[in-house]
């Protein structure tokens, strides 16, 4: 079925806005939390609470998005993210941050599986390229978000930057509501089955269950960069808030350019060879981060890491789409993201302990070891993904 361009354009605009907000939060939220007096260990607890909440709920929202208009989940998720982030900035609610983290994880996470499934819904070409474009569109927002957020934080306050996040997500919800409904994607009554049956069907497909395992490993590694790099760059390397934001904007440009290219290559030459290439080189770059001691070294190594790592998730998602029955895409995306969240749940407390007990740069060595495990899993399962 040919998907109308009028559905795709506002949809990808929403993805850009989603990426802008995520990019803004990447440097600002950990620095904001640290400004409130939270220790590295307490920051690890906050990450774990959020990840545990997403782990509990994301699979459910994904399954429900196969049964209800996916746009509703995106609207509710963006609005809840906006409202809760505003509450974060109220000093009288600081003692409730753990509760707010849990609620935000439960509600905002609706956005992910619905968006990823809709990428397939509006796809009119190769799914590898489409997933690459999805990732690059989101990455485009992430190029702007960190720098804008850090400039606002430096000149006004961290709270002001989080208010911008809240306003932008309201705009994203309004645009989502304007996206024309794509007909012919809901399951008819003859296809109805329980959510549990759908999950069992997916786990019975070896390629799908292998990808779920790999997603855990990928996010056990990426948590090092996404959650600890802003603090590392500012407190260990000595970068200013604006420079930390610029760091993430610069490296996101590398991901923005590399992701569709690798997605196109995976459509032309097969997914697994390209995925393994990116996995191996991003693992080496993760280790190299432990050796970077100056701002310039950190920027160059992080750019190399992002160039190789950014295409991984969209290529893995493209592989998942090809292995998933069409009527189970939302469920499959929700479960995949749930296992990503499991990876986040498992690691923050470990990384916080390594930071405090050994050295801050040791967390990158731990992340590289985790990524290497993912490479070994994919090599062992290589034949499962042969066409």
In whole angstroms, give the CA distance from residue 288 to residue 224: 13
In whole angstroms, give the CA distance from residue 238 to residue 232: 8
For residue 332, count other CB atoms closer than 10 A to its CB. 32
pLDDT in tens, 55-98: 888 888 887 877 778 888 999 999 999 999 999 999 999 999 99
pLDDT in tens, 240-265: 988 988 888 888 888 888 887 887 78
In whole angstroms, give the CA distance from residue 341 to residue 339: 5
Angle of helix 312-323 relative to helix 241-269, nearest 10 degrees, comes to 40
pLDDT at 132 over 70: no
Banded pLDDT at 189 (limits 50, 70, 90):
very low
∠ CA 202-60-311, nearest 5°, is: 65
* Residue 136 confidence (pLDDT): 76
* Residue 367 confidence (pLDDT): 92
Is residue 236 a contact partner of residue 338, using CB atoms and an 8 Å limit? no
With a CB cutoff of 8 Å and minimum separation 6, the contacts of 95 are none
Percent of the chain with pLDDT over 70: 91
Ordered by where they begin, the domains of the chain are: 5-179+194-385 (1.20.1250.20)
If you search the block for the tokens 């995106």, which residue do you land on? 74
Backbone angles phi, psi at 205, to 5 degrees: -90, 115
Backbone angles phi, psi at 116, to 5 degrees: -60, -40
Average pLDDT, integer, range 127-154: 81
* Residue 332 confidence (pLDDT): 83
pLDDT at 316 over 70: yes
If you search the block for the tokens 């959510």, which residue do you land on? 195
For 282, counting Cβ atoms within 10 Å of its Cβ (0-12 exposed, 13-18 middle, 19+ buried), the class is: buried
pLDDT in tens, 145-187: 999 999 999 899 999 999 999 999 999 999 998 887 765 455 5
For 295, counting Cβ atoms within 10 Å of its Cβ (0-12 exposed, 13-18 middle, 19+ buried), the class is: middle
3-state SS record for 114-170? HHHHHHHHCCCCCHHHHHHHHHHHHHHHHHHHHHHHHHHHHHCCHHHHHHHHHHHHH
DSSP code of residue 237: S
With a CB cutoff of 8 Å and minimum separation 6, the contacts of 383 are none
In whole angstroms, what separates CA 66 from the centre of its chain?
A: 21
In whole angstroms, give the CA distance from residue 332 to residue 208: 8
pLDDT in tens, 349-362: 889 999 999 999 99
Distances 135 to 159, 258, 317 between C-alpha atoms, Å: 28, 10, 10
* Residue 133 confidence (pLDDT): 73
Average pLDDT, integer, range 43-48: 90
Token pair for residue 73? 């989940």
In whole angstroms, give the CA distance from residue 129 to residue 33: 37
* Residue 387 confidence (pLDDT): 58
* Residue 283 confidence (pLDDT): 93
* Residue 262 confidence (pLDDT): 85
* Residue 51 confidence (pLDDT): 87
Mean pLDDT across the chain: 85
pLDDT at 128 over 70: no
Token pair for residue 92? 């009288």
Banded pLDDT at 126 (limits 50, 70, 90):
low
Query: Considering only 12-16, 99-103, 151-155, 313-317, which range has the smallest mean pLDDT?
Result: 313-317
* Residue 2 confidence (pLDDT): 44
pLDDT in tens, 1-36: 444 445 577 888 899 999 999 989 988 999 999 999
pTM score of the predicted model: 0.77
pLDDT in tens, 61-70: 887 877 778 8
- More confident site: 168 or 109: 168
Is residue 312 a contact partner of residue 219, using CB atoms and an 8 Å limit? no
């Amino acid at each position: 079925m040919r998907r109308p361009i009028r559905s795709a354009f506002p949809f990808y605009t929403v993805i850009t806005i989603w990426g802008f907000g995520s990019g803004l939060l990447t440097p600002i939220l950990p620095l904001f939390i640290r400004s409130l007096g939270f220790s590295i260990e307490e920051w690890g607890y906050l990450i774990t609470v959020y990840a545990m909440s997403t782990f509990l709920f994301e699979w459910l929202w994904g399954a429900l998005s196969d049964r209800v208009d996916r746009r509703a989940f995106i609207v509710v998720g963006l609005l809840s993210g906006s409202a809760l982030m505003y509450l974060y900035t109220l000093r009288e609610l600081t003692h409730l941050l753990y509760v707010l983290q849990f609620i935000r994880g439960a509600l905002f996470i609706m956005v992910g599986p619905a968006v990823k499934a809709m990428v397939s819904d509006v796809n009119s070409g190769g799914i590898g390229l489409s997933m690459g474009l999805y990732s690059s569109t989101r990455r485009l927002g992430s190029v702007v978000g960190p720098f804008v957020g850090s400039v606002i934080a430096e000149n006004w306050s961290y709270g002001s930057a989080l208010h911008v996040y809240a306003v932008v997500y309201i705009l994203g919800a309004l645009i989502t509501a304007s996206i024309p409904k794509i007909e012919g994607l809901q399951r008819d009554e003859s296809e109805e089955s329980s959510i549990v049956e759908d999950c069992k069907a997916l786990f019975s497909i070896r390629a799908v269950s292998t990808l779920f395992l790999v997603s855990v490993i990928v996010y056990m590694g990426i948590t090092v960069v996404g959650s600890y790099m802003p603090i590392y760059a500012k407190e260990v390397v000595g970068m200013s808030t604006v420079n930390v934001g610029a760091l993430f904007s610069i490296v996101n440009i590398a991901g923005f350019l590399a992701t569709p290219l690798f997605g196109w290559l995976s459509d032309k030459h097969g997914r697994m060879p390209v995925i393994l290439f990116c996995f191996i080189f991003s693992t080496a770059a993760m280790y190299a981060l432990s050796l970077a001691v100056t701002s310039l070294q950190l920027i160059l190594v992080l750019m190399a890491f992002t160039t190789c790592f950014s295409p991984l998730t969209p290529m893995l998602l493209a592989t998942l789409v090809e292995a998933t029955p069409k009527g189970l895409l939302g469920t499959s995306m929700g479960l995949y993201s749930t296992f990503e969240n499991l990876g986040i749940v498992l690691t923050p407390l470990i990384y916080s302990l390594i930071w405090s007990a050994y050295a801050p740069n040791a967390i990158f060595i731990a992340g590289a070891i985790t990524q290497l495990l993912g490479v070994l899993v994919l090599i062992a399962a290589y034949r499962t993904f042969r066409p």
